[in-house]
């Protein structure tokens, strides 16, 4: 077994990631979808609506071979689940769960990344959990890279779809308002934006498996149903990205990716003042398809962001993204005002279960930048290690005071200026800094 210092070094070792996106893959996914439709029909179940026109991602946009560090992937996963509402805890809360995978992967610059011995052992007991969570990390890291290449003068924000949609729709029986009655939806939205301009939104559906290529075909067919559940603008014009990460017990990890094009996804209404608080609204559930002849088409199940909702939805995405950052820094007081009641505001106010709360009371300096946030001490191979998550202090102060507009202007201006180093010698551990101003760092704990 590697000692703790070796594990920390391995976390920042760049490794090759195999990305598979071909016409053959798109065809195999269509076959898997048709087989699923056949089985549902035999069971007298309704036929699912899937995203039409899934196709490969062009090689110029997403290289067939990419390099990532495990630490960057875990940072992407940790940021994504800060508002996941996976339990009664908060703060220590959900985003720290990414750290349980710091020994699950192995690889180096001369090889493909894959499961380590610990990752293979974990898969025997928590197969679906590990593959799903790691699949999320890899999918989001690659989605941000892809969209940043396509929109080089824009900023890419990842927002949890459930949290964003809850501001307008009642997703479950526990939510107040007209019930959507539809359990399919993407896991995330990617908002591509520039200050003061219309933004574009891409639903993202991502899954993972430890089984093999055929399982990924089935997962991508299922992901197309989740991505199709949200329409922004005209019927079937919303672009999307779908991923299935294959983590075999023996062999390299492969991310299978497809996309659907379209002219929609643009939120081109006049911007609302993002500093203003967001209120729950009740949007009538359903997506209105294109009418045939003079007949009024019945709405299909799902969530439709129609043109009159563009400004509201852009407002929702910006404030939900802000909530994710302040939660990542451990500040529940700053997080609560960014969320509506249905989005889970109460999870960041009031009583906290013992050992599940965090507080924004730590600060560290990395590569000349001051960060504030929260920390957590735990054991790794019997040694105590300290993990720190936070946000650049000047940007955090904007969010703490409700200045979302100023935060977005400044983080956009600094999007390509953040340090790229992955090991801080003074801190003596791995450090990941993302363009949104967030940081994740870990080191051996010294009394």
pLDDT, residue 298, reads 84
Between CA 389 and CA 446 the distance in angstroms is 18
Q: How many CB atoms lie within 10 A of CB 432?
A: 24
Beta bridge partners of 304: 231
Q: What is the dihedral of CA 301, 306, 312, 317, to 10 degrees?
A: 60
Which pLDDT value is given to residue 351?
53
pLDDT the model gives residue 3? 87
* DSSP output for 21-47: --HHHHHHHHHHHHHHHHHHHHTTPPP
d(CA 220, CA 215): 9
For the chain, the distance separating the N- and C-terminal CA atoms, rounded to the nearest angstrom, is: 25
pTM for the structure as a whole: 0.94
Instruction: Give the number of residues written for the chain.
Output: 447
pLDDT of residue 86: 42
pLDDT tens, the chain, 447 aa long: 678 898 999 999 999 999 999 999 999 999 999 999 999 999 999 889 999 999 999 988 877 667 899 999 999 999 999 887 543 344 445 788 889 999 999 988 778 899 998 899 887 778 889 999 999 999 999 999 999 999 999 999 999 999 999 999 988 877 777 777 789 999 999 999 999 899 999 999 999 999 999 999 999 999 999 999 999 999 999 999 999 999 999 889 999 999 999 999 999 977 789 999 999 999 988 998 876 656 677 889 999 999 999 999 999 999 999 999 999 998 889 999 999 999 988 877 765 544 445 566 799 999 999 999 999 888 888 899 999 999 999 999 999 999 999 999 999 999 999 999 999 999 999 999 999 999 999 999 976
Residue 193, token pair as written in the block: 């934006």
What is the Cα–Cα distance from 438 to 218, expressed in whole angstroms? 35
> How high is the pLDDT of residue 360?
64
């Amino acid at each position: 077994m590697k000692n703790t210092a070796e594990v920390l070094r391995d976390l920042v070792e760049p490794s090759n990631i195999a990305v598979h996106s071909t016409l053959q893959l798109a065809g195999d996914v269509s076959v898997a979808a048709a087989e699923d439709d056949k089985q549902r029909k035999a069971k007298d179940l309704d036929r699912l609506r899937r995203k039409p026109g899934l196709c490969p991602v062009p090689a110029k946009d997403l290289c067939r071979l990419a390099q990532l560090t495990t630490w960057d992937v875990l940072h992407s996963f940790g940021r994504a689940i800060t508002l996941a509402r996976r339990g009664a805890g908060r703060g220590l809360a959900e985003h720290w769960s990414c750290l349980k995978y710091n020994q699950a992967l192995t690889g180096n610059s001369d090889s493909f990344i894959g499961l380590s011995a610990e990752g293979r052992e974990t898969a025997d007991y928590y197969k679906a959990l590990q593959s799903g969570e790691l699949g999320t990390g890899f999918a989001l890291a690659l989605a941000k890279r892809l969209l940043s290449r396509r929109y080089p003068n824009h900023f890419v924000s990842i927002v949890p779809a459930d949290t964003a949609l809850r501001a307008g729709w009642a997703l479950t029986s526990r939510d107040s308002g007209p019930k959507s009655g539809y359990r399919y939806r993407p896991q995330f939205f990617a908002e591509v934006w520039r200050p003061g301009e219309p933004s574009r939104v891409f639903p993202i559906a991502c899954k993972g498996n430890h089984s093999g290529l055929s399982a990924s075909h089935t997962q991508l067919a299922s992901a197309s149903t989740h991505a199709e559940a949200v329409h922004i603008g005209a019927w079937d014009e919303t672009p999307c990205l779908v991923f299935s990460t294959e983590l075999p017990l023996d062999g390299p990890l492969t991310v299978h990716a497809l996309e659907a094009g379209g002219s929609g996804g643009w939120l081109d209404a006049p911007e609302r003042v993002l500093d203003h608080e967001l209120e729950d609204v009740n949007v009538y559930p359903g997506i209105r398809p294109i009418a045939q002849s003079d007949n009024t088409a019945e709405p299909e199940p799902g969530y439709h962001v129609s043109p009159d909702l563009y400004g509201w939805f852009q407002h929702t995405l910006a404030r939900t993204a802000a909530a994710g950052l302040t939660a990542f820094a451990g500040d529940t007081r700053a997080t609560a005002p960014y969320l509506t009641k249905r989005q889970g505001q109460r999870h960041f106010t009031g009583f906290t279960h013992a050992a599940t709360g965090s507080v924004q009371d730590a600060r560290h300096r990395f590569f000349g930048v001051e960060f504030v946030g929260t920390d957590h001490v735990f054991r790794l191979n019997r040694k105590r290690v300290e993990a720190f998550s936070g946000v650049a202090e000047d940007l955090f102060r904007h969010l703490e005071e409700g200045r979302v507009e100023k935060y977005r202007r400044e983080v956009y201006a600094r999007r390509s200026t953040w340090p790229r180093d992955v090991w801080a010698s003074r801190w003596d551990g791995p450090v990941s800094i993302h363009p949104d101003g967030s940081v994740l760092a870990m080191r051996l704990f010294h009394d």
